[in-house]
Amino acid sequence: MLIELPSEFRDARGIPRKFDPADPRMPSFREHEVVIDLRSTEFVRPAAILWCVVYALLAKKRGAACRVLVPLNFGVCTYLKSVGLFEMLLESKVELDDRGISKLESRQVILPLTMFETETAAEELANRAMAYLKVSRVGAANIYPVVSETFGELAVNAVQHAESSIGAFGLIQFYAFKRREYFVCCVADGGIGVRRSLEKNPKLKGTFSYDWTALEMAVRERVSGTGEVNRGIGLFGVAEDMKKAGRILVIHSGLGALSVSDKADSKAKRSALFPGTLAYVSIPA
């Protein structure tokens, strides 16, 4: 199976429909080889990086030979190596040719691509991010707790609910453009997805016909797959906080994607596949 990714690869929603890949979480996944082709990619975002990791590792888990063709754009290759993508793929035995590409240190990479599996590890990553922010001094200092606490909420949520066979992954980055500075926090897993997680609550079982309808329920107050009255506050709290001016939350799970901001109406849409769940936040610095 060949998956050719676009020149501007922001997240899985941008995958051309003709390359919409099979779900590697499913027992029906029978691909012997998966090739993720980034050669034409000239612009890539953290959410797209996490899709590459999750899809490649799930395909490997299913027994497929997996190969990633790196971008021909040298600058994009340097960025992907510096943020930790190439190292993680190679450690997972994904075939990748990164010859001639050097890793560059950048204070804008607050937390490089990191795998975690426990709540303790998720909390430690949030603390590490906070400590690095204080040293880096990028953006406004009063935003640092928002960044670290938001990441921590999303990371713990992934550990508690995903049931991912490959763990969960996190990445935090600072972006600076002429008229805008902002932080991006991204967390993803290769787990059961929001719909199946919510339906573990007997009161919600059979409620959702589609991934996108489950996403709309997931950001409501006290909605949780556990059914406990004191749970379901974390994701709701993040969604409410992202309704402040300039902030954005995107949740992508299975075939559904939901955007929350001061302008978005929190209406979910059908989308290309994310095999698990991705949560992405953008916070003005």
How do residues 35-93 score in pLDDT, each as one tens digit? 999 999 999 999 999 999 999 999 999 999 999 999 999 999 999 999 999 999 999 99
As a three-state string, the secondary structure of the chain is CEEECCCEECCHHHCCHHHCCCCCCCCCCCCCEEEEECCCCCEECHHHHHHHHHHHHHHHHCCCEEEEECCCCHHHHHHHHHCCHHHHHHHCCCEECCCCCCCCCCCCEEEEEEEECCHHHHHHHHHHHHHHHHHHCCCCHHHHHHHHHHHHHHHHHHHHHCCCCCCEEEEEEEEECCCCEEEEEEEEECCCHHHHHHCCCCCCCCCCCCHHHHHHHHCCCCCCCCCCCCCCCHHHHHHHHCCCCCCEEEEEEEEEEEEEECCCCCCCEEEEEEEEEEEEEEEEC
Q: What's the confidence (pLDDT) of residue 178?
A: 77
Say yes or no: 35 and 149 in one domain: no
Confidence of residue 250 (pLDDT cuts 50, 70, 90): very high
Residue 226 has pLDDT above 70, yes or no: no
Range of the domain at 144: 106-285
pLDDT greater at residue 58 or residue 21: 58
Say yes or no: 74 and 152 in one domain: no
Residue 231 has pLDDT above 50, yes or no: no
User: How confident is the model over 10-22, as a mean pLDDT?
Assistant: 86
Here the CATH number for the domain that contains residue 5 is 3.30.750
How do residues 137-169 score in pLDDT, each as one tens digit? 899 999 999 999 999 999 999 999 999 999 999
Confidence of residue 175 (pLDDT cuts 50, 70, 90): very high
Say yes or no: 87 and 224 in one domain: no
Say yes or no: 188 and 278 in one domain: yes
Say yes or no: 147 and 284 in one domain: yes
